[in-house]
């Protein structure tokens, strides 16, 4: 992705220079706290963390931000700005009202949110309660080194996916889905969650296409990086990599094949209506 020297977003809240120390390491309990809520929309790496024994790691770092920290912050900021432009356009032309962007919180190690605490290399998540995206910038390293999804556009896809949850919140989809989830069995709740997540993947693909059309920001291999990331964070792949036999009734995000297919659908059609995962039998 071409991002150097481009405009960044003003909706970044950088908490990385003031690490929260009082709580210390929240360990695996903290990770489960945030991901186990069910009303938080993140990249669920719980089985992966359990399998790799990474859950208890606390990565609180002190001092100045390194050059690499600053670079990843700038990258996320540009990717976020790109999503703001694209979704503003879509809202104006297709929804009929202005897009109110999310705030993206950058943190390292431990942080608090109204949706729970996050620690370790917790996957990024969106908290509807404060309309903020939470992103531990170390997650990109985990994504590349432990999960096999490297490349800057894998990271951009992650940002676009979390932004998509904010879009869903703005459109009322998240609220509706959560009301349903509160009234049904765990298994049915998981199925609703999968529809939410696949729609966010479709929106990410849609964003990639429109960003390319508008900014010409994609480079050779970018879509392949996003598709590979979609594969690596599929529930079946994550469970398999954690040494488990995939159990579809526990899936909350969709299989690798589904995540790739919905991302591709958004990218190929460029049409928001093609991302209606709620009224299809063909998930």
Residues in contact with Zn ion by CB under 5 A are 41, 197, 200
Kindly state the smallest distance separating residue 206's Cβ from Zn ion, in Å: 15
Contact, 260 vs 231, CB < 8 A? yes
Which tokens is 229 given? Answer: 């990331």
Contact, 118 vs 38, CB < 8 A? no
Task: Give the HSE-up count for residue 67: Cα atoms under 13 Å, Cβ half-sphere.
Answer: 0
Q: Which lies closer to Zn ion via its Cβ, residue 69 or residue 76?
A: 76
Kindly state the smallest distance separating residue 234's Cβ from Zn ion, in Å: 12
Q: Which lies closer to Zn ion via its Cβ, residue 164 or residue 211?
A: 164
- Phi-psi category of residue 243: left, alpha or beta, with phi > 0 → left and psi -120 to 50 → alpha: left
Kindly state the smallest distance separating residue 165's Cβ from Zn ion, in Å: 6
Q: Which lies closer to Zn ion via its Cβ, residue 69 or residue 234?
A: 234
Q: Which lies closer to Zn ion via its Cβ, residue 115 or residue 200?
A: 200
Kindly state the smallest distance separating residue 110's Cβ from Zn ion, in Å: 21
Which tokens is 236 given? Answer: 């079946």
Q: Which lies closer to Zn ion via its Cβ, residue 77 or residue 199?
A: 199
Kindly state the smallest distance separating residue 124's Cβ from Zn ion, in Å: 9
Kindly state the smallest distance separating residue 125's Cβ from Zn ion, in Å: 7
Euclidean distance between CA atoms 215 and 78, whole angstroms: 12
Residue nearest to Zn ion (CB): 41
- Find, among 206, 109, 214, the residue nearest to 163 by Cα: 206
Q: How many CB atoms lie within 10 A of CB 240?
A: 15
Contact, 125 vs 41, CB < 8 A? yes
Q: Which lies closer to Zn ion via its Cβ, residue 69 or residue 160?
A: 160
* DSSP H or E segment with residue 118: strand 116-118
Contact, 13 vs 104, CB < 8 A? yes
Kindly state the smallest distance separating residue 44's Cβ from Zn ion, in Å: 8
Q: Which lies closer to Zn ion via its Cβ, residue 69 or residue 174?
A: 174
CA distances from 23 to 50, 222, 246, 257 (A): 21, 39, 34, 39
H helices within 3-106, ranges in order? 27-35, 46-52, 67-90
């Amino acid at each position: 992705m071409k991002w150097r020297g481009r405009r960044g977003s003003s909706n970044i809240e950088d908490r990385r220079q003031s690490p929260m120390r009082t709580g210390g390491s929240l360990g695996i309990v903290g990770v489960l706290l945030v991901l186990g809520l069910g009303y938080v929309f993140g990249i669920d790496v719980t089985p992966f963390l359990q399998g790799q024994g990474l859950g208890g790691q606390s990565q609180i770092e002190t001092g100045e931000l390194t050059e690499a920290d600053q670079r990843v912050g700038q990258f996320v900021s540009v990717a976020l700005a790109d999503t703001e432009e694209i979704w503003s356009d879509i809202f104006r032309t297709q929804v009929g009202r202005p897009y109110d962007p999310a705030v993206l919180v950058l943190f390292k190690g431990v942080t608090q949110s109204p949706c729970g605490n996050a620690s370790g290399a917790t996957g990024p998540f969106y908290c509807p309660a404060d309309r903020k995206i939470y992103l531990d910038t170390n997650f990109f390293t985990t994504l590349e080194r432990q999960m096999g999804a490297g490349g800057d556009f894998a990271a951009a896809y992650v940002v676009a996916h979390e932004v998509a949850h904010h879009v869903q919140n703005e459109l009322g989809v998240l609220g509706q889905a959560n009301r349903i989830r509160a009234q049904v069995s765990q298994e049915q709740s998981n199925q609703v969650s999968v529809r939410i997540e696949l729609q966010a993947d479709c929106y990410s693909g849609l964003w990639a296409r429109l960003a390319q059309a508008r900014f010409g920001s994609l480079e050779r291999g970018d879509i392949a990086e996003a598709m590979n990331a979609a594969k690596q964070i599929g529930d079946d792949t994550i469970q398999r990599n954690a040494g488990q036999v995939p159990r579809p009734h526990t899936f909350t995000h969709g299989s690798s094949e589904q995540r790739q297919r919905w991302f591709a659908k958004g990218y190929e059609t460029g049409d928001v209506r093609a991302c209606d995962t709620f009224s299809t039998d063909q998930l």
